[in-house]
Each structure stands twice: as structure tokens, then as C-alpha cells.
Amino acid sequence: MRILLLVASLLGSVGVGTQASAQAPSRSLAPVIDLHVHAGAGREGSPYYEVYDGETPDDAFLRSALADLDTNGVVLAVVGGPAAHAERFRAAAPDRFLGAVAFPCTGGQDPNLQQCFEGGGDWPDLGWLRAEAEAGRVSALGELYNVYAGVPVDGAEMAPYIALAAEHDLVVLAHADAGPPPEGRRPGCCPNFDGSLGDPAHWGPVLERHPTLRLVLYHAFRPEYVESAIGLMDRYSNVVVETSPMTRVPTPLVHAALARFAEAGHGDRVVFGSDYPGAVAGSLAVIESAPLSEAQKRAILYDNAARFLRLGEADEDEGP
């Protein structure tokens, strides 16, 4: 989850610019897949709201995001968020975006205080979600805000959604971290916040029931959770990790996590996620300075995600 306040100063990392497209590209534009992009400009007071003239904030944000992805060579992104916002992104560039629906929400709002569903509520309607999946507009569930909502991933409330993901082969995008700390949350966000629910180990019982589920563990940089993630990866080949938010977490922590995944034999299951907005260029720089081989870095930026998303396989799978 992008959290737009105070985290940079808290963690002593670099700032998050809203105008990454204004930066000179510092890298060759080899293709990148970003599995962690957020839609929606937020509400009044957000840095992404009302920063442009002549457009609605959400339209301006979409235009800015597309330019930012272009600048940084991002050819495909999984975009999650409030359902209407994610669909606006996907519909504007259906070859560029795979749509995802974020939940569970709290008081009808996501952690950036955006309304999650047009009809209100904290959960997507299952019939609607099924129809969206069958129509190809929804390819993933997430970002899953269990930590923010205080709802266990392996509990009864989540079960029908996980079953739907398994049935329709939807990718599951989990906020799998204990943070952000209170200073990093929007005022008014998340009275039920429970960081312990971010431990990747909570996905163990879920994967026992659905062993082929395609799961992305977001924010896998915290040492103890890195070990939890590796425990899942050892058992389930469809679990991958990313290490966002790389512009807000100390780089040595991210580099240690990346090295640990490689050492554990899972370098081919680390994918790139920026936790967009505004974080693509800075996140790419963290990967490119990592203590990994050039081949490993290239795999993180594209190949691992392409394999996980099964790009190019659809035609081959379609029989007569």
C-alpha cells in the first residue's frame, strides 16, 4: 500500500516524487513488468490530488502514471485499487495494465481513504467479482489489505474470495508486512490495523487448501518475514515476492532480502513492484544497485514476472 505521509522521513530514505517523468532516464529502457501499481489520486490533501490544471485529479493522475511508466520502460503493470479506479486505468491501456480489486476495506474506505466500492461496503460482491473475472477485466485480487483491516487471510471472511481466485486462476496480491508504522498511515486510517497479520506464514493454511494459487507477497524485505516467505516458497512454486516500497525502506535492508532470496534458491521468484505512484525510477535504481548478477537483476525486472503471469502461453493453451 502506498502511504503518502511521513514514511520517507521516518525511514530516512529518498523522497517520492510525483513527477518521475520529469527525471532524465538513468537507465537503458529494457522492458520492465511492475506487479505493484496503485490507481486513484486519493482524496483532497493527497499529493496526487489537485496537482494539475484542467483535468479531474483522477484523469490527471492516470495521464501522469502512463507517462511515468513509459519513461521507465514499464511495458506491463498490475494495477490495484478501488474497483472503479483500477478499471479506469485498465480500460485506458488494456495492453499495459492487468486490473486488480483491492479489499478488505474499513468503513468503506481503503488505507488512503478512497471509497472502495461504488455501492459502499468493505468487500466486493462475489457475483460481480466473478463476472468481472470472466470478462477479463479483473485479473488479480489486491492489494489485499488484511493488515489494515485486521482481517486474517486464512479466515472465513476471505475464504470465498480465495476460492474464486483459485477457480479463475486470479493472481493474489498480498500486503505481507507488519507496517507501515502509525506515523506512516493516513490520519483516520485503519482503527483495526494488525501488523502481525502480515506474516507470510498466515498464507500456509490457505495454500494447503489451494496449492496452485498464484500468490505475490508484497513488501518482502523485513528479515523475519523474508524467512517466512522462503518457507512458503520452498513448499509452493507459485509463490513469488517483491521488495517494495524501495524508495522508502533503507536500501541495505532491501539488498539483504534480495540476496537472501537468491541464496535460498528463489532468485527466479523475485518480481519487481514499485508500489506506484512516483516510485518506479527510484525502485529500479535499488534493483540495479543490488548485489546480484546482471542476469538476476534482468530476471527480477521482467523474466520472473513474465513466467509467473504466463505471458505468451494463452495461445498455446487453446486447443481446437
Site residues (vs Zn ion, CB under 5 A): 1, 143, 275
Nearest residue to Zn ion, by Cβ distance, number only: 1
Query: Judged by CB, which is closer to Zn ion: 194, or 268?
Result: 194
Query: Judged by CB, which is closer to Zn ion: 86, or 292?
Result: 86
Following DSSP, what letter does each residue of 274-295 receive, concatenated? --BSS-HHHHHHHHHTSSS-HH
Other CB atoms within 10 Å distance of the CB of residue 125: 13
Nearest distance from residue 162's CB to Zn ion, in Å? Answer: 19
Q: How far is it, in rounded angstroms, from Cα 241 to Cα 136?
A: 24
Which triple of cell numbers denotes residue 117?
A: 466500492
Query: Judged by CB, which is closer to Zn ion: 42, or 292?
Result: 42
Nearest distance from residue 143's CB to Zn ion, in Å? Answer: 5
Of the candidates 70, 15, 14, 65, which has an alpha carbon nearest to the alpha carbon of residue 36?
65
**3-class secondary-structure state, position 33:** strand
Q: Tell me the backbone φ, ψ of residue 49, rounded to 5 degrees.
A: -110, 135
Nearest distance from residue 2's CB to Zn ion, in Å? Answer: 5
Query: Judged by CB, which is closer to Zn ion: 87, or 275?
Result: 275
What per-residue string of b and e applies to 255-276 under the rule 16 or more CB within 10 Å gives b? bbbbebbbebebbbbbbbbbbb
Query: Judged by CB, which is closer to Zn ion: 1, or 220?
Result: 1
Nearest distance from residue 111's CB to Zn ion, in Å? Answer: 9
Nearest distance from residue 112's CB to Zn ion, in Å? Answer: 10
8 Å CB contact between 292 and 262: yes
Query: Judged by CB, which is closer to Zn ion: 104, or 296?
Result: 104
Of the candidates 198, 193, 190, 185, which has an alpha carbon nearest to the alpha carbon of residue 107?
190
Q: How far is it, in rounded angstroms, from Cα 298 to Cα 288?
A: 9
Q: For residue 37, what are the contacts with CB-CB under 8 A and spacing of at least 6?
A: 65, 69, 77, 78, 79, 80, 89, 97, 274, 276
Cell numbers 494447503: residue: 208
Query: Judged by CB, which is closer to Zn ion: 6, or 264?
Result: 6
Q: How far is it, in rounded angstroms, from Cα 122 to Cα 105?
A: 4
Query: Judged by CB, which is closer to Zn ion: 122, or 143?
Result: 143
Nearest distance from residue 313's CB to Zn ion, in Å? Answer: 27
